[in-house]
Amino acid sequence: MRMIQKLKSLEKAVVFLRWATDAQFGKLKYVGDDFIEFEVLDTDSMEYTETVLINSQLILEVIVSGFEIARVIAEIAVNMDSSN
């Protein structure tokens, strides 16, 4: 299975993504054959700060679970509850 095919199944998921020039927490907004649309999450304010279009060939690493991601998701959930 190619990485792009696996990433397509993770659309809308919060992940840690490392590409050629940077690494950030965020949400995979769209995964196409030639690029990935990634919403960068500012972990201090827990808000999406920018959208980055990344050439799919530049993706080096994607982490979809783990302690840090669980912490980020928990903080997002807490902020969602307090805003309602």
CATH 2.30.30.100 fits 3-83, yes or no: yes
DSSP codes of every residue in 17-80: EEESS-EEEEEEEEE-SSEEEEEEEETTTTEEEEEEEEEGGGEEEEE-SSHHHHHHHHHHHHHH
**pLDDT grade, residue 81 (50/70/90)?**
low
pTM higher than 0.85: no
Tens-place pLDDT, residues 12-41: 999 999 999 999 999 999 999 999 999 999
Q: Where are the domains of the chain?
A: 3-83
Query: Contacts by 50-55 with C-beta closer than 8 Å and gap 24+?
Result: 52/24, 52/26, 54/17, 54/19
The pLDDT assigned to 83 comes to 54
The pLDDT assigned to 71 comes to 80
